[in-house]
Structure 1
Amino acid sequence: MTGPPAPVGLHVLADLDRIDPAVLDDAAGLRTALADALTAAGATVRQVVAEAFEPHGVTVVALLSESHASVHTWPEHGRALVDVFTCGDAADPERAVALLATALGGTVRESRTEARGGTPPVREPIAPGLTRVWDVERPVHRETTPYQRILIAGTAHGVTLFCDDERQSAESTQLVYHEALFVPAALLARDRARVLVIGSSEGVVSELALACGAGHVDHVDLDAAAVRACATHLPYGYDEKALAAAEAHDGPVHVHYADGLQWVRGEGPRYDVIVVDLPDERPDEPDNQLNRLYGRDFLADCRDRLAPGGVVVSQAGNPALWRDATLRAAWARFHEVFGDVVYVGSDEHEWSFLLGRAAGDDAVERMRAALPGLPYRPLSVDDEFLRSRTVPPRRLRTR
Structure 2
Amino acid sequence: MPPLPVGRHVLAELTGVDPAVLDDVETLRRALTETLVAAGATVRTVVAEKFAPQGATLLALLAESHASVHTWPEHGAAHVDVFTCGAHADPALAVRLLAEALGATGTRLEVVARGGGARTVTEPIGPGLVRRWDLGRVRYRATTPYQRVLIADTAHGVTLFCDDERQSAAATQLAYHEALFVPAVLLAERCARVLVIGSSEGVVSELAVGSGAHRVDHVDIDPDCVRACAQHLPYGYTPDALAAAERHEGPVHLHYGDGRQWVERTGDRYDIIVVDLPDERPGEPAAQLNRLYAADFLGRCKDRLAPGGVLVSQAGNPALWRSETLRAAWRRFHDVFGANGVVYLGSDEHEWSFLFGCARPWPDPVAAMRTRLDALPVRPVYLDALTLESRTVPPISIREDRFLAIDPFRHDRPE
TM over 0.5: yes
Q: Which one is further off, 154-163 or 281-290?
A: 281-290
Shift of residue 128, structure 1, vs aligned partner: 2.9
Summarize deviations over 1:128-154 as a string: whole Å, max 9, x none: 322222111111122332222221111
Q: How far does the alpha carbon of each residue in 1:102-130 deviate from its partner, in whole angstroms, 9 at most, with x for none?
A: xx999999695723325731222222322
- Whether the aligned pair in 2 keeps the contact of 1:11 and 1:93 (CA below 8 Å) is no
- Structure 2 CA distance for partners of 1:323 and 1:73, relative to 1, 3 Å: same
CA distance in 2, matches of 1:307, 1:136: 44
- 1:146 counterpart SS class: coil
State the secondary structure of the residue aligned to 1:121.
Answer: strand
The 5-angstrom pairing of residues 261-276 of structure 1 reads 261-265=260-264, 268-276=267-275
User: How far 1:243 sits from its partner (Å)?
Assistant: 1.9
Contact persistence 2:31–2:101 (CA under 8 A) = no
Q: 1:166 maps to which residue? A: 165
SS in 1 for 2:83: strand
The structure 2 residue matched to 1:10, chosen from 8, 31, 40, is 8
CA distance in 1, matches of 2:25, 2:83: 24
Question: How far apart, in 2, do the equivalents of 1:108 and 1:242 lie?
Answer: 23
Equivalent residue number for residue 157 of structure 1:
156
How much does 1:225 deviate?
2.3
The more displaced of 328-337 and 339-348 is 339-348
- 2:167 & 2:46 partners in 1: Cα distance? 41
Counting aligned pairs with the same residue, the percent is 62
Match of 2:112 in 1: 115
Is the 8 Å Cα contact of residues 25 and 56 (structure 1) preserved in structure 2?
no
Instruction: Identify the residue that residue 200 of structure 1 maps to in structure 2.
Output: 199
Tell me the CA shift for residue 383 of structure 1.
Answer: 0.9
Aligned partner of 2:395 in structure 1 is 393
Could you tell me whether the CA contact under 8 Å between 1:342 and 1:354 is conserved in 2?
yes
User: Contact conserved, 2:318 with 2:326, CA < 8 A, in 1?
Assistant: yes
Find the aligned partners of 2:223 and 2:89 in 1 and give their Cα distance. Answer: 26
> Residues 122 and 213 of structure 1: is their aligned pair in 2 closer, same or farther, counting only changes over 3 Å?
same
Cα offset, 1:244, TM superposition = 2.3
Query: What is the SS of the residue equivalent to 1:373?
Result: coil
The answer as to whether partners of 1:57 and 1:72 remain within 8 angstroms in 2 is yes
Q: Distance in 1 between matches of 2:93 and 2:265?
A: 43
Matching residue of 1:293: 292
> Where does residue 362 of structure 1 map in the other structure?
364
Name the aligned partner's letter for residue 214 of structure 1: A
Quickly say closer, same or farther: Cα 1:265–1:42, change in 2 above 3 A.
Answer: closer
Give the RMSD, CA atoms, in angstroms. 3.9
State the 1:324 CA deviation.
Answer: 1.5
Give TM-score, length-normalised by structure 1.
0.83
Specify the SS of the correspondent of 1:322: coil
CA distance in 1 between counterparts of 2:214 and 2:262 reads: 20
Q: Residue 349 of structure 1 corresponds to which residue in structure 2?
A: 350
How far apart, CA to CA, are the structure 1 residues paired with 2:178 and 2:133? Answer: 24
Change (3 A) 1:51 1:175: same
Secondary structure (helix, strand or coil) at the match of 1:206 reads helix
Tell me the distance in 2 between the aligned counterparts of 1:236 and 1:82.
Answer: 29
Distance 2:317 2:375 in 1: 31
Q: CA deviation at 1:309?
A: 1.2
Gaps of 5+ in 1: none
Q: Any conservation in 1 of the 2:41–2:62 contact (CA below 8 Å)? A: no
What CA distance in whole angstroms lies between the structure 2 residues aligned with 1:25 and 1:192?
A: 55
Residues 172 and 350 in structure 2, CA contact (< 8 A), matched pair in contact too: no
Match of 2:413 in 1: none
Gaps of 5+ in 2: 402-415
The aligned counterpart of 1:378 is: 380
Pick which of 297-306 and 127-136 moved more: 127-136
Q: Give, in whole Å, the separation in 2 of the partners of 1:132 and 1:261.
A: 31
Relative distance call for 1:147 and 1:96 in structure 2 (3 A) is closer
Q: Quick check: 1:41–1:96 contact (8 Å CA) kept in 2?
A: no
Cα distance change on mapping 1:189 and 1:95 into 2, 3 Å: closer
Query: For each residue in 1:11-63, what CA deviation from the matched residue of structure 2 results, as whole angstroms up to 9, or x when unmatched?
Result: 24677x99xx8xx8559x9599579949x947695x66455779999865344
Cα gap change, 1:32/1:299 in structure 2, threshold over 3 Å: closer, same or farther?
closer
Structure 1 counterpart SS, 2:289: helix
Counterpart of 1:390 in structure 2: which amino acid? T
In terms of mean alpha carbon deviation, does 301-310 or 251-260 score higher? Answer: 251-260
Q: Deviations over 1:245-271 (max 9, x none)?
A: 222222222222232112222552221
CA contact (8 A) 2:37 2:43 kept: no
CA distance in 2, matches of 1:230, 1:66: 28
Is contact 1:185-1:311 (8 Å) kept?
A: yes
Q: Which residue of 1 aligns with 2:277?
A: 278
Q: Distance in 1 between matches of 2:93 and 2:374?
A: 58
User: Structure 1 stretch 108-117 or stretch 144-153: which is displaced more?
Assistant: 108-117
Between the aligned partners of 2:60 and 2:139, the Cα distance in structure 1 is 27
Structure 1 residues 106, 35: CA separation in 2 closer, same or farther (over 3 Å shift)?
closer
In structure 2, what is the equivalent of residue 337 of structure 1? 336
The 1:392–1:225 alpha-carbon spacing in structure 2 relative to 1, beyond 3 Å, is same
Which of these residues, 49, 56, 67, is aligned with residue 69 of structure 1? 67
- Asked if the contact 1:177/1:347 (under 8 Å) is kept, the reply is no
Separation in 2 of the partners of 1:309 and 1:117? 52
Q: Look up the equivalent residue of 2:221 and give its one-letter code.
A: L
TM-score of the aligned structures, taking structure 2 as reference length: 0.80
1:162-206 deviations in whole A, cap 9, x for unaligned?
112211110000000000001111111122222211111111111
Q: 1:48 to 1:146 in 2, by over 3 A?
A: closer
Is the 8 Å Cα contact of residues 31 and 48 (structure 1) preserved in structure 2? no
